[in-house]
């Protein structure tokens, strides 16, 4: 009630915590027709899961997964596909090859088509490791509540700021839905920084507050970089 005195209050609850229904949705593909957005969105989704291996191996597979997932999400956005299509492409790369490459030919950034081609043409063992790294970041698609929260269009951060609104993001220590919470948090933060750069002094007025309780567990965003 206190927040509602300032502006509209929204709930994003892909885990269904407390039986509360999400009042907003966030499609991870929104904006991914832009190559830079696809790259940051893929990084956010994968930040919430652990890559296989140890030490340098872990970072190697994580970086490969980021490149491939970014290319696939970029292809899906360009071709009007969905996150379920992205999941199907990861599950069966051979079958997806023609469609993915056709969509990526529409991209303003040729490197994405090269990244996809390299992934599709690599040996089975390497490709399997990349796919196994990506799959947990898409596990929320098997949860009806989470999948419903990830439909529709993108979330309008500019409207949120203009209306002095609030978004309550409800999460649990749940690896399955953490990628969605992380992706929306990253989207709001990056959009707010982009909008701030157009304002006098490069700052929002009033400022945006991010109160991220248990961030390391619920939405492991790069707080060290943001601060």
Per-10-residue mean pLDDT for the chain, 227 residues long? 94 91 94 94 87 65 91 95 95 90 91 86 87 92 92 88 94 80 93 94 93 81 79
Task: Please provide residue 129's backbone torsions phi and psi, each rounded to the nearest 5 degrees.
Answer: -65, -40
Residue 52 is predicted with a pLDDT of 57
pTM: 0.90
Residue for token pair 């190697």:
60
Helical segments of 48-177, H only: 56-79, 83-91, 93-104, 110-121, 124-134, 144-149, 157-162
Task: Please provide residue 166's backbone torsions phi and psi, each rounded to the nearest 5 degrees.
Answer: -130, 140
Residue 66 is predicted with a pLDDT of 92
Cα radius of gyration (the chain): 18
Residue 56 is predicted with a pLDDT of 60
Helices 56-79 and 110-121, packing angle to 10 deg: 120
Residue 39 is predicted with a pLDDT of 94
Question: In 3D, which of 32, 28, 45, 30 has the Cα closest to residue 112?
Answer: 32
Q: Are 196 and 204 in contact (CB under 8 A)?
A: yes
Residue 81 is predicted with a pLDDT of 96
**What is the pairing mode between strands 9-12 and 166-169?**
parallel
Non-local (6+) Cβ contacts of 220 within 8 A are 47, 48, 178, 182
């Amino acid at each position: 009630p206190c927040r509602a005195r300032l502006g509209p209050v929204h709930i994003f609850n892909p885990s269904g915590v407390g039986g509360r229904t999400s009042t907003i949705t966030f499609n991870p593909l929104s904006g991914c027709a832009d190559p830079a957005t696809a790259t940051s969105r893929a990084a956010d989704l994968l930040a919430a899961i652990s890559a296989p291996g140890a030490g340098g191996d872990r970072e190697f597979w994580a970086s490969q997964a980021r490149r491939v997932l970014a290319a696939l999400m970029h292809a899906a956005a360009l071709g009007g596909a969905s996150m379920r299509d992205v999941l199907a492409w990861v599950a069966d790369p051979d079958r997806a090859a023609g469609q993915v490459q056709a969509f990526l030919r529409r991209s303003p950034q040729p490197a994405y088509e090269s990244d996809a081609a390299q992934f599709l043409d690599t040996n089975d063992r390497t490709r399997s490791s990349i796919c196994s790294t990506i799959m947990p970041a898409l596990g929320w698609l098997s949860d009806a509540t989470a999948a419903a929260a990830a439909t529709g269009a993108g979330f309008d951060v500019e409207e949120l700021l203009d209306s002095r609104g609030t978004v309550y993001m409800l999460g649990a220590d749940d690896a399955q839905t953490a990628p969605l919470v992380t992706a929306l948090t990253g989207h709001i933060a990056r959009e707010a920084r982009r909008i701030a750069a157009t304002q006098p002094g490069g700052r929002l007025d009033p400022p945006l507050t991010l109160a991220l309780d248990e961030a390391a567990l619920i939405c492991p965003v790069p707080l060290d970089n943001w601060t």
